[in-house]
Amino acid sequence: MATNLQIAARKVSSINPARGEVLREFECASECEVQAAVERARAAQPAWAAIDVRTRIAVLREFQRRLLEKKSEIAEAITREAGKPVAEALTTEVLVVLDAARFLIENAYHLLRDEPLPHGSLATKLKRGQLVREPYGVVVIISPWNYPFSIPTTETLAALVAGNAVVLKPSEFTSMVALELQSLLRSAGVLRDVFQVLVGDGATGAALIHSKIDKLVFTGSVATGKRIAVAAAERLLPVVLELGGKDPMLVLDDADVDVASSAAVWGAFMNAGQTCLSVERCYVHRSLYEKFLSACVEKTNKLRVGNEFDPDTDVGPMIHERQLQIVELHVEDAVARGARLLAGGMRIRELGNNFYKPTVLADVTHEMRIMGEETFGPVLPVMAFDSDEEALRFANDSEFGLAASVWTRDNARGERLARQIHAGTVMVNDVVSCFGISEAPHGGVKSSGVGRTHGRFGLEEMVRLKYLDVDLMPGMKRVWWYGYGAAFARQMEGFLDFQFARGLGTRVRGALRSAGIMARKKL
């Protein structure tokens, strides 16, 4: 009881990161409230799963229609709570969700329906097999603050259309956006207990993990992800973990410097660098190195940092002071170890506490923290390489493996290198936009996590796979049942030769030896 009271007594605040004003204060959901929400979800889920898939798709279509109508209002809500410019909220959040809904509306029916499974073995030709996809039951989604609408919504839509009930625990920094999502889904026809938002802090999330749920989808830090994996392992709870990245960008000697430098600047600084798919490590062939740096610095200095509601703003504030301090620590460490600071590298205090100038660093090395640890801020560290082999070695020298990019005028060369990079996604001549490709799976390898969201494979994460087998001769005893004996062994040897031997003569002799196998006496 003391634990419950402590959780209930805690509060979290939604704060505008640009001005520091408190938008709304919430009480954290207590352990009792968590358990009650999960129980309500479990009670409501069977009726939701019993609804025809086409009806659930119709709910998604209505959600999509309502979101399109309210696109500006939702974008402004995201901007108010997360700090990104409205234009960025529209492109990286609202657009992504609208298209994710489009993908599920077009594809969920045929991806979720029963799938015939033909049998190749002669021994099982009198059976009919099917793959049946069934919802897990109650899926918990714990989502981050950097994309408070697109990340939880794409995961939620997949879980719901598959027939699950969903309990969403948003980041304590962006709870209001999650409540906007709840309002949209319920107005579109999702039953009240089939989708619930629980506002709270880490203790609320921990209570959810230890409640009677059927699957967990978590996006967040590696440290938290590892703790979740340990807790989940105790009860074999299936999880999807997206734990961030340190994405490399490889600029080859034949790349278009103007295009690649623009991509690097946008890929490093959009959402103030607070993107798991950000360009966090940039490797440039030595022949283009100084020219590339000069272009990046020129373009970085043209970026407009400011009020997130100003339509001319390119880069808004960081989410909070703690994240900004990590950026400062990484930049200071790099400069102290010999990196050249070519742009930025300081706060913009006249704008507010959470504004940091977009920063370009040259001559970084892998001994610097900024090339090993996730920075998650508006910093572009650039390092030279001399060969494709060296670039690959640098790219793969990381505990992370979420995404990467290769820049070249030769797509075949780019693809060859992409296949050798250890990452869940590699783009040739583009960055970050893979998250907005609804058909493409999102997820990584190594410390970037396990499992996938988005597309076909994200939908597969929301269902249990069941094999259903029906024997077409229910009145006949199976050949392989008891009543073995020497004759049966010889017949089986002949049957194996008949089915698998390569020579025609051996197969014919095998068929003759196996004659009578169906008529033998069985127990």
38 contacts 208 by C-beta, under 8 angstroms: yes
Q: What percent of the chain stands above pLDDT 90?
A: 94
- For residue 6, pLDDT over 80 is answered with no
At how many degrees (to 10) do helices 71-82 and 53-69 cross? 80
Q: What is the number of other CB atoms lying within 10 angstroms of the CB of residue 503?
A: 10
Please, are residues 444 and 481 in contact by the beta-carbon 8 Å criterion? no
The per-residue DSSP string of 370-391 comes to GGTS---SSEEEEEEESSHHHH
**Both structure tokens of 522:** 């069985």
Residue 1 clears pLDDT 80, i.e. is over it: no
Mean pLDDT, the chain, whole residue set = 96
Helix axes 2-9, 31-50, angle to 10 degrees: 80
Residue 4 in this model has a pLDDT that exceeds 50 = no
Our CA angle for 344, 349, 354, nearest 5°, is 85
What is the structure's pLDDT at 183?
98
Q: Where are the domains of the chain?
A: 33-243+456-466, 248-439, 477-523
Which residue type, as a one-letter code, is found at position 37?
A
Decide if pLDDT at 7 tops 50: no
User: Phi-psi category of 348—alpha, beta or left, where left has phi over 0 and alpha has psi -120 to 50?
Assistant: beta
CB 257 within 8 A of CB 288: yes
Give the rounded distance of the alpha carbon of 444 from its chain centre.
8
What's the average model confidence in pLDDT over 279-287?
A: 98
Q: What is the mean pLDDT of residues 462-480?
A: 94
- Tell the residue number behind the tokens 């996590």, with chain if given: 449
What class is the 33-243+456-466 domain? alpha beta
Fold adopted by 248-439: Aldehyde Dehydrogenase; Chain A, domain 2 (3.40.309)
The fraction of the chain above a pLDDT of 70, given in percent, is 98
Tell me the per-residue pLDDT of 376-413, one tens digit each, with 9 for 90 and over. 999 999 999 999 999 999 999 999 999 999 999 999 99
Three-class SS state of 278: coil
Separation CA 258–CA 133 (nearest Å): 48
Query: Model confidence over 167-213: pLDDT tens digits?
Result: 999 999 999 999 999 999 999 999 999 999 999 999 999 999 999 99
Q: Which two tokens stand for residue 461?
A: 């994460």
What's the pLDDT tens digit per position in 28-52? 999 999 999 999 999 999 999 999 9
Read off the pLDDT band of 218 (50, 70, 90).
very high
Residue 3 predicted with pLDDT over 80: no
- The mean pLDDT of 145-156, rounded to a whole number, is 98
* Three-class secondary structure assignment of 15-61: ECCCCCCEEEEEECCCHHHHHHHHHHHHHHHHHHHHCCHHHHHHHHH
CB 133 within 8 A of CB 474: no
- CA 216 – CA 401 distance, rounded (Å): 21
pLDDT of 522: 87
User: What's the average model confidence in pLDDT over 79-93?
Assistant: 97
Mean pLDDT of 413-441: 98
- The alpha carbon dihedral of 90, 96, 99, 100 has a sign of negative
Q: What is the average pLDDT across 274-281?
A: 98
Contacts of 279 (CB under 8 A, 6+ apart): 247, 249, 263, 264, 267, 268, 380, 405, 431, 432
Place of tokens 């698998």: 500
Predicted model pTM: 0.95
Query: Tokens representing 133?
Result: 């996809």
Residue-by-residue DSSP string for 444-470: -EETTEES-BSHHHHHHTTEEEEEEEE
What is d(CA 436, CA 434) in angstroms, rounded to the nearest whole number? 5
How far apart are alpha carbons 351 and 363 in whole angstroms? Answer: 30
Q: How far apart are the first and last CA of the chain?
A: 61
Of the pLDDT bands very low, low, confident and very high (cuts 50, 70, 90), residue 5 is very low
Burial 65-88 (b: 16+ CB within 10 A, else e): ebbeebbeebbbbbbbbbbbbbeb
Averaged pLDDT for residues 325-346 = 98
Mean pLDDT across 203-229: 97
Q: How many CB atoms lie within 10 A of CB 368?
A: 22
Q: Which of 61, 243, 237 is nearest to 160 (CA)?
A: 61
User: By C-alpha distance, which of 217, 221, 89 is closest to 162?
Assistant: 217
Distances in whole angstroms, Cα of residue 83 to Cα of each of 131, 148, 221, 247, 418: 45, 11, 20, 23, 33
Give catalytic residues, as residue numbers: 242, 276
pLDDT over 90 (residue 114): yes
